[in-house]
Structure 1
Amino acid sequence: MNLIHRFQALVHDDEAVTAIEYGLIAALIAVFIIASVALVGSKLDAIFSAVASAVAAAISV
């Protein structure tokens, strides 16, 4: 079976299309998770900095 016949078989294979769709869905979920972690991470860093400042001020009193 040459390369052209293999490519034609792949194009007509429904399982390959389904695998590509699942791959795209997984990629979109990964992008969403990365973006949300980056957003929450920066806000969480600000909260921890405020708590650290408050604790340092309480200890020095």
Structure 2
Amino acid sequence: MTLTRTVLKAFGKTFIKNEDGATAIEYALMAALVGGVIVASVTTLGESADTKFGSLATTLDEAGGDTGSTGGEGGV
């Protein structure tokens, strides 16, 4: 065998046995999964909070009446 072929063969065996790349890919997939779950949760909670605050605003408007003022200085 030539020197180049021997070196490539040794490199190939080492590359196949090396699992660092597979571990890094697994961690990246787990991080992506966790990120996706976080985005989905925040989106769902945000929509729920928006609905609750909208309902609260409607209830307060109906209970207090809309005076047309913007608050603060009594409508000045």
Does the alignment reach a TM-score above 0.5?
yes
Give the aligned residue type for 1:40: L
The structure carrying a bigger helix percent of its residues is 1
Give the aligned residue type for 1:60: G
Cα pair distance change 1:11/1:44, threshold 3 Å: farther
Give unmatched runs, 5+ long, in structure 2: 1-7, 67-76
TM-align CA RMSD:
2.2
TM-score after normalising by structure 2: 0.59
State yes or no: 1:49 paired with 2:51: no
Cα pair distance change 1:27/1:11, threshold 3 Å: farther
Asked which structure has the greater CA Rg, the reply is 2
Instruction: Answer with 23-32 or 36-45: which moved more.
Output: 36-45
Deviating beyond 6 angstroms after TM superposition, the runs of 4 or more aligned structure 1 residues are: none
Give the aligned residue type for 1:44: A
TM-score after normalising by structure 1: 0.71
State yes or no: 1:14 paired with 2:4: no
